[in-house]
Amino acid sequence: MASLLIVEDDDTIGAVLRSSLRAHGHEVSWSLTGEDALRIAGERDFELVLLDLGLPGLDGVEVCRRLRARLPWCVLVILTARHDEMDVVVGLEAGADDYLTKPVRLGELLARVRAHLRRGVSRTESQQMLVVGRLRVDTAARRVWLGDREVELRVKEFDLLARLAAEPGVAVSRGTLLADVWDEHWFGSTKTLDVHIAAVRRKLAEAGAAPQISTLRGHGYRIEPPSDAAEGDPGA
């Protein structure tokens, strides 16, 4: 059983989601406004949040940002009636791990919730330090450094970087990344992967000279190992 939070201002949708998730054994709280959701999130921890972006009052994207700050290890799934790609990207960049567009098919939503929760439970952290040039990924402590500077990553961002750093120089397919970082039976949008890759690249770039994460058109991604010259240069 997981502790879930629904943030949805539509009474009918909220009631259906709460009833269905409770029927599947989860402990469910429901907020009608972003302000109330933030209050509740400050009082208790949740494993997963379903957040409607089209909220009255405080904008759903801003609620997403604040929830991510208060619940850094929680899975955030946004629900949106906005079909514009930029709205979805903004939501993901604000801290969401995944999204579903309305009208939401209940079976798909329940499967997606199961996938996220199963991935969180089954993930094991090996006791090792992954090193790619100046990049160090501590999989036990779930911390990342670039040189002497620590890089703050969200849950899926960390998992994605750790997966790539485990095999520097190896091309990892999109399907493999989605299976290893999200779930082996993942059927959500692959846009989620692209947005998370972009976020990892941006945060590493802000921290300094980082190993390149290359896009392999039609296949996936690869983190580039340092050249011998760069690796031997203490100023690299």
**DSSP string computed for 150-164:** EE---HHHHHHHHHH
Same domain, 100 and 191: no
Tokens 């579903």 belong to residue: 100
Same domain, 184 and 203: yes
Among 22-26, 42-46, 82-86, 214-218, which stretch is predicted with the lowest mean pLDDT? 82-86
Same domain, 165 and 215: yes
Q: Tell me the average pLDDT of the chain.
A: 85
**CATH number for the domain harbouring residue 174:** 1.10.10.10
For the chain, the domain total comes to: 2
pLDDT one-digit tens code per residue, 182-208 = 765 555 556 789 999 999 999 999 998
**CATH number for the domain harbouring residue 47:** 3.40.50.2300
- Is pLDDT at 119 greater than 80 in this prediction? no
The helix or strand, by DSSP H or E, that contains position 173, with its residue range, turns out to be: strand 172-173
CA dist 5 to 39, 49, 105, 170, Å?
12, 5, 18, 39
**pLDDT for position 149:** 93
Q: N- to C-terminal Cα distance for the chain?
A: 48
Same domain, 21 and 88: yes
Q: What is the pTM of this model?
A: 0.59
Same domain, 154 and 55: no
> What gap in Å lies between CA 160 and CA 201, rounded to an integer?
11
**Contact between 27 and 117 (Cβ < 8 Å):** no
The residue segments making up the domain with residue 196 are: 129-232
Looking at 122, 148, 163, the residue that finishes a domain is 122
**For residue 64, what pLDDT band results from cuts at 50, 70 and 90?**
very high
